[in-house]
């Protein structure tokens, strides 16, 4: 375990050390101490390394992650794991806006709550939030799975494409073109797998599934009022 | 005209300037369809432009340079502020961002080939980076757009620069649009979308709001790419003084400023024609913003929107730009709207030079299409050579003018070398009306 101390090292130095293993199969382990809300921490990683951040971070923690496992022992600012490609990011606390935005792959787990626009424009990432999520979550979400053990705010899944949304609690309102859909066995199996990978003990049968009604995929003048 | 029955004189039929034939036709089209018109390209209305400016040339007080003897440099370096690897271009003319999806793969390849032969860069678009483009572009600028289609850290690292797109001149405040006819399996795969849907990409970035967030976003992109890549910020011609100021504040290395004549793959005609300012009106406010911050030439300014000739290039540089960017003109050089396809344009209800239904994917020239048969009409090698030739001509023309003004580098052109033919152009460009020393808006009258 290598300790990187942000009270002594500059952000560039810490990220450069983590990125120095990019393209390798290294399983090296790091702990970043004194993160003090730093932005853009542990971004652009591209190796199966394990990074633990001892404290809360600012914007875009673990942005564009590939292969690495990043655990934040604290809360994160906006855009955690934005555009993640693969790997795993776990936030022990809460996440601010845009958690997992535009992510293409990998698994983001938020043990606390996630704020508005969680999973906005997601493109294949899986997101598991153990608490609640804010309004406009999964806006224009294209692919992947968003699992919420708590409640969802207003306009969930507005202008949704093919992402699947699973919510155990209440949904304040559904966004345009987002509807509740049947939970079939394949979805139970999918949820079982996601919850297990996220280390969450919950019964998939308690969740409801939401997806796109696919009414807005091609512009039709009769739907103009929906925009 | 006389009355048929009485032979007395009658009033000549008079068309309304307000309800012109064009307007009336649009009213009838709207009444028949119930939907706005969508098209490609930039503003078609006549607005004050570079044609309204003239160079003064040398005189007793200004020495010209010998056209075929004395050097006039054209090289430009973009991204000198923070990037450890700025982009060095042989000419101050770049190829603007245009997406794979709106353009065919061979068209993107041709852009890369032509730009590389001319020593300049080309730019991706709202659809990610293709191998055709990366493989044939010596210098490739990777656009970072609100949709983030195809965005990934590997392509970020293999780009030569990153362009964060905030807006574009054809539609400041609008997002991308690619209708179902062009969402083929390959295009859909790159964008993580179902085949055949109408793709309307977001007009705002999903994970930042405002200049303070943008500064942190730029920090993230720099940290991911090791502070090597120049970071451009592209803005539409909305509020050029303030947008340039905020882009610089946020940490841009380069500001790309796109006026309303700049093209788009597709959007509403009403958006193209009625939102945003002419390119000519945008340059001086942007330059003033840079000067007010002491950043002129430190942060480079690239101007686009209606650049067609070497004279346009020279005029943009004289007004303070470091480089220009071309999109529509590059497509025409490749073969877009070529009269040799006139019969096919007629069959589509249009004519060469006016064809702008690029979103329908039926481009006879094989450029703005994903139809395999139409795409095959464009030979990327020959088209690349045409673009190279055109870029060479633009450069030679700009050099010709610069030498005539006594400049050993095209960047030495300055507003003092210009006058304006109209009061409007004089006010926008901040140069005197021809034959006077009057710059409207600068006092004195």
Q: What string of H, E and C letters represents the secondary structure of A81-112?
A: CCCCCCCEEEECCCECCCCCCCCCCCEEEECC
Q: So where are chain B's domains?
A: 40-429
Instruction: Indicate the length of chain B as a whole number.
Output: 445
Rounded to a whole number, what is the distance in angstroms from the first to the last CA of chain B? 47
Residue B445, pLDDT score: 54
Picking from B119, B47, B51, the residue whose alpha carbon sits closest to that of residue B307 is: B51
The mean-pLDDT minimum among A140-154, A212-226, B72-86, B228-242 falls in A212-226
**Nearest-CA residue of chain B relative to A12?**
B223
Contact residues, chain B, for A15 at CB < 8 Å: 223
Judged by CB atoms closer than 8 Å, whether chains meet at B219 and A63 is answered as: no
Question: B438: which residues sit within 8 A by CB, 6+ positions away?
Answer: B426, B432, B444, B445
Q: Which of B207, B211, B228 is best to mutate for the A interface (most A CBs within 10 A)?
A: B207
Inform me whether the pLDDT recorded for B444 exceeds 70.
Answer: no
Contact residues, chain A, for B226 at CB < 8 Å: 16, 19
Average model confidence (pLDDT) for chain B?
94
Q: B333's torsion region: left (phi>0), alpha (psi -120 to 50) or beta?
A: alpha
> What are the C-alpha distances in Å from A7 to residues A18, A74, A191, B212, B365?
17, 17, 41, 24, 60
Contact residues, chain B, for A136 at CB < 8 Å: none
Gap between the Cα atoms of A57 and B50, Å rounded: 50
Judged by CB atoms closer than 8 Å, whether chains meet at B152 and A64 is answered as: yes
Question: A39: which residues sit within 8 A by CB, 6+ positions away?
Answer: A11, A57, A58, A59, A60, A77, B216, B219, B220
Rounded to a whole number, what is the distance in angstroms from the first to the last CA of chain A? 52
Inform me whether the pLDDT recorded for A135 exceeds 80.
Answer: yes
Distance from the A218 Cα atom to the nearest Cα atom in chain B, whole angstroms = 5
Picking from B405, A139, B381, B351, the residue whose alpha carbon sits closest to that of residue B389 is: B381
DSSP, collapsed to helix, strand or coil, labels residue A194 as helix
Distance from the B117 Cα atom to the nearest Cα atom in chain A, whole angstroms = 32
Judged by CB atoms closer than 8 Å, whether chains meet at A46 and B153 is answered as: yes
Question: What does the pLDDT average to over A94-111?
Answer: 98
Is residue A35 within 8 A of residue A74, CB to CB? The reply is yes
Judged by CB atoms closer than 8 Å, whether chains meet at A218 and B202 is answered as: no
Which of A78, A104, A120 faces B152 most closely, judged by CB atoms?
A104
Chain segment B140-199, per-residue pLDDT in tens: 999 999 999 999 999 999 999 999 999 999 999 988 777 777 788 888 888 888 888 887
Residue B27, pLDDT score: 97
Place of tokens 């970020």: B156
Integer Rg of chain B from CA: 23
Which of B198, B217, B224 faces A217 most closely, judged by CB atoms?
B198
Q: How confident is the model at residue B201 (pLDDT cuts 50, 70, 90)?
A: confident
Question: What does the pLDDT average to over A188-217?
Answer: 96
CATH number 2.160.20.60 is the correct assignment for the domain at A2-214: yes
Residue A65: its H or E element: none
Gap between the Cα atoms of B331 and B325, Å rounded: 12
Chain segment B232-261, per-residue pLDDT in tens: 999 999 999 999 999 999 999 999 999 999
Picking from B310, B397, B391, the residue whose alpha carbon sits closest to that of residue B115 is: B391
Distance from the A125 Cα atom to the nearest Cα atom in chain B, whole angstroms = 12
Taking CB atoms within 8 Å and a gap of at least 24, the contacts of B374-380 are: B374/B104, B375/B104, B375/B105, B375/B106, B375/B107, B376/B106, B378/B104, B378/B106, B378/B107, B378/B110, B378/B334, B378/B335, B379/B106, B380/B106, B380/B107, B380/B109, B380/B110, B380/B113, B380/B132, B380/B136
Q: So where are chain A's domains?
A: 2-214
User: Between chain A and chain B, how many beta carbons pairs sit less than 8 Å apart?
Assistant: 97
Is residue B189 within 8 A of residue B195, CB to CB? The reply is no
Q: Which residue has the higher pLDDT, B126 or A139?
A: A139
Looking at chain A, the whole-number percentage of residues with pLDDT higher than 90 is: 94
Is residue B216 within 8 A of residue A58, CB to CB? The reply is yes
Residue range B40-429 forms a domain whose CATH class is alpha beta
Residue A212, pLDDT score: 96
Gap between the Cα atoms of B261 and B115, Å rounded: 22
Looking at chain B, the whole-number percentage of residues with pLDDT higher than 70 is: 99
Gap between the Cα atoms of A117 and A107, Å rounded: 17
β-bridge pairing A164-167 and A143-148: parallel
Q: Which of A16, A43, A115 is best to mutate for the B interface (most B CBs within 10 A)?
A: A43
Is residue A14 within 8 A of residue A31, CB to CB? The reply is no
The mean-pLDDT minimum among B60-69, B85-94, B406-415 falls in B60-69
Residue A226, pLDDT score: 66
Residue B343, pLDDT score: 97
The burial of B90, by beta-carbon neighbours within 10 Å (0-12 exposed, 13-18 middle, 19 or more buried), is given as middle
Which of B191, B192, B220 faces A60 most closely, judged by CB atoms?
B220
Q: Cβ atoms within 10 A of the Cβ of A65, count?
A: 30
Torsion angle of the four alpha carbons A158, B234, B390, B331, in this order, in degrees rounded to the nearest 10: 10
Inform me whether the pLDDT recorded for A139 exceeds 90.
Answer: yes
Contact residues, chain B, for A46 at CB < 8 Å: 153-154
Judged by CB atoms closer than 8 Å, whether chains meet at B207 and A79 is answered as: yes
Inform me whether the pLDDT recorded for B10 exceeds 90.
Answer: no
Q: Which residues of A touch B (CB under 8 A)?
A: 11-12, 15-16, 19, 39-40, 43-44, 46, 58-60, 63-64, 66, 78-79, 82-83, 85, 97-98, 101-102, 104, 117, 120-121, 123-124, 139-140, 142-143, 161-162, 217-219, 221
């Amino acid at each position: 375990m290598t300790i990187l101390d942000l009270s002594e090292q500059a952000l560039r130095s810490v990220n450069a050390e983590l990125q120095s293993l990019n393209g390798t199969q290294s399983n090296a382990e790091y702990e970043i101490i004194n993160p003090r809300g730093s932005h853009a921490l542990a971004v652009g990683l591209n190796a199966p390394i394990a990074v633990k951040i001892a404290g809360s971070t600012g914007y875009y923690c673990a942005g564009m992650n590939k292969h690495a496992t990043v655990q934040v022992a604290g809360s994160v600012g906006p855009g955690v794991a934005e555009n993640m490609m693969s790997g795993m990011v776990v936030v022990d606390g809460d996440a601010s806006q845009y958690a997992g935005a535009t992510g293409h792959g990998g698994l983001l787990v938020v043990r606390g709550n996630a704020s508005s626009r969680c999973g906005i424009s997601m493109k294949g990432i899986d997101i598991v939030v153990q608490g609640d999520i804010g309004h406009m979550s999964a806006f224009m979400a294209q692919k992947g799975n968003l699992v919420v053990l708590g409640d969802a705010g207003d306009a969930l899944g507005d202008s949704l494409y093919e992402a699947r949304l699973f919510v155990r609690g209440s949904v304040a309102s559904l966004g345009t073109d987002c509807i509740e859909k049947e939970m079939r066995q394949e979805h139970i199996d999918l949820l079982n797998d996601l919850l297990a990978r996220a280390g969450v003990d919950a019964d998939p049968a308690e969740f409801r599934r939401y997806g796109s009604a696919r009414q807005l995929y091609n512009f039709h003048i009769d739907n103009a009022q929906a925009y | 005209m006389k009355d048929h029955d009485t032979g007395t004189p009658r009033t000549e039929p008079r068309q309304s300037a307000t309800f012109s034939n064009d307007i009336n036709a649009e009213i009838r089209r709207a009444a028949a369809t119930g939907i706005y018109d969508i098209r490609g390209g930039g503003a078609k209305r006549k607005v004050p432009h570079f044609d309204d400016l003239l160079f003064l040339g040398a005189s007793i007080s200004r020495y010209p340079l010998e056209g075929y003897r004395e050097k006039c440099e054209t090289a430009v370096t973009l991204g000198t502020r923070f990037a450890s690897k700025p982009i060095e271009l042989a000419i101050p003319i770049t190829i603007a961002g245009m997406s794979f999806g709106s353009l065919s793969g061979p068209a993107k390849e041709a852009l890369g080939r032509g730009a590389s032969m001319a020593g300049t860069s080309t730019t991706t678009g709202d659809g990610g980076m293709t191998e055709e483009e990366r493989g044939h572009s010596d210098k490739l600028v990777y656009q970072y757009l609100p949709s983030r289609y195809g965005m990934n850290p590997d392509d970020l690292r293999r780009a030569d620069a990153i362009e964060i797109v905030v807006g574009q001149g054809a539609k400041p405040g609008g997002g991308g649009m690619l209708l179902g006819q062009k969402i083929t399996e390959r295009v859909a795969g790159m964008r993580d979308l179902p085949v055949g849907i109408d793709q309307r990409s977001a007009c705002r970035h999903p994970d930042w709001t405002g200049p303070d967030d943008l500064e942190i976003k730029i920090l993230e992109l720099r940290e991911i790419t090791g502070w090597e890549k120049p970071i451009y910020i592209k803005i539409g011609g909305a509020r050029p003084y303030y947008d340039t100021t905020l882009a610089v504040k946020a940490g841009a290395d380069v500001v790309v400023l796109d006026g309303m004549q700049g093209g788009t793959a597709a959007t509403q005609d009403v958006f193209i024609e009625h939102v945003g300012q002419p390119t000519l009106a945008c340059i001086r406010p942007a330059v003033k913003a840079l000067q007010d911050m002491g950043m002129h030439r430190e942060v480079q300014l690239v101007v686009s929107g209606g650049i067609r000739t070497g004279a346009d290039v020279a005029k943009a540089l004289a007004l303070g730009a470091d480089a220009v960017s071309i999109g529509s003109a590059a497509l025409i050089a490749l073969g877009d709207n070529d009269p040799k396809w006139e019969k096919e344009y007629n069959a589509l209800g249009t004519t060469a030079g006016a064809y702008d239904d690029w979103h329908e994917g039926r481009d006879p020239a094989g450029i703005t299409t994903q139809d395999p048969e139409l795409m095959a009409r464009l030979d990327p090698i020959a088209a690349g050579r045409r673009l190279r030739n055109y870029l060479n001509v633009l450069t030679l023309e700009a050099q010709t003018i610069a030498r005539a003004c006594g400049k050993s580098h095209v960047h030495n052109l300055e507003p003092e070398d210009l006058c304006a033919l109209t009061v409007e152009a004089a006010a926008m460009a901040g140069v005197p009306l021809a034959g006077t020393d009057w710059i409207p808006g600068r006092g004195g009258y």
